[in-house]
């Protein structure tokens, strides 16, 4: 129950402004907590809820990466309008419909393989709303087990990417505890 109180506190506090250094850490914490919640939902058999939380975790990671790489992304932008959009919309909101394009931009500045994992997160987002679909018309997953496997895989990838960011961000005990909790939820892997 104590962990649930910590989670609630972490997710309910106001986000720092996207213009501050603390924004990256807050979004990374959100990603870790959401991924842990996803795994807890899986253990309870709530695969659609787990898929939604896994998607939210990935989206929070993208927000952190966008803020961390904002300088490089602004340099890549082709117009003032695109630069303003990156600052005013992309970093604080990470619009679902633009996640693929934003992931591709992040790949261009050094985050290899991000687009493929974003595609998995978007597939899980569809699954959250449509559930398993043996005909594969509304969902990319024919069964609950397929979606559950991707929730776990996305959580593992999230851990790997966040651990790679440690030297570049203001790392806190709270982030370390959340990372440890997520690893434990995955079975220490």
| pLDDT tens digits, 121-147 | 999 999 999 999 888 888 899 999 999
Coil, helix or strand at residue 69: coil
Closest to 126 in 3D by CA, of 102, 142, 107, 103: 142
CA 137 vs CA 125, 130, 156: distances in Å = 15, 10, 28
Stated pTM of the model: 0.94
Closest to 105 in 3D by CA, of 57, 135, 71, 128: 71
Rounded-to-integer distance, Cα 149 and Cα 183, Å: 16
Instruction: Give the DSSP letter of residue 131.
Output: -
> Tokens at residue 38, please?
């996803």
Reported as a single tens digit per residue, the pLDDT across 7-39 is 677 778 888 999 888 999 999 999 999 999 999
CB atoms within 10 A of CB 171: 15
Q: What angle do CA 44, 158, 16 make, to 5 degrees?
A: 100
> Tokens at residue 30, please?
């959100």
Reported as a single tens digit per residue, the pLDDT across 63-89 is 999 999 999 999 999 999 999 999 999
CB 62 within 8 A of CB 99: yes
């Amino acid at each position: 129950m104590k962990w649930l109180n910590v989670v609630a506190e972490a997710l309910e506090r106001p986000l720092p402004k996207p213009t501050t250094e603390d924004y990256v850490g807050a979004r990374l914490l959100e990603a870790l907590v959401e991924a842990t919640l996803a795994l807890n939902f899986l253990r309870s058999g709530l695969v659609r809820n787990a898929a939604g939380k896994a998607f939210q975790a990935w989206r929070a990671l993208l927000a952190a990466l966008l803020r961390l790489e904002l300088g490089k992304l602004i340099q890549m932008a082709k117009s003032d309008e695109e630069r303003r959009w990156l600052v005013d919309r992309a970093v604080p909101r990470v619009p679902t419909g633009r996640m693929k394009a934003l992931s591709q931009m992040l790949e261009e500045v050094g985050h290899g393989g991000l687009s493929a994992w974003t595609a998995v997160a978007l597939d899980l987002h569809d699954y959250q709303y449509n559930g398993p679909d043996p005909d594969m018309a509304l969902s990319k997953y024919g069964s609950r087990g397929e979606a559950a496997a991707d929730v776990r895989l996305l959580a593992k990838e999230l851990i790997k990417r966040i651990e790679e960011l440690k030297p570049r961000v203001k790392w806190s005990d709270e982030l370390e505890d959340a990372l440890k909790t997520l690893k434990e939820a995955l079975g220490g892997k």
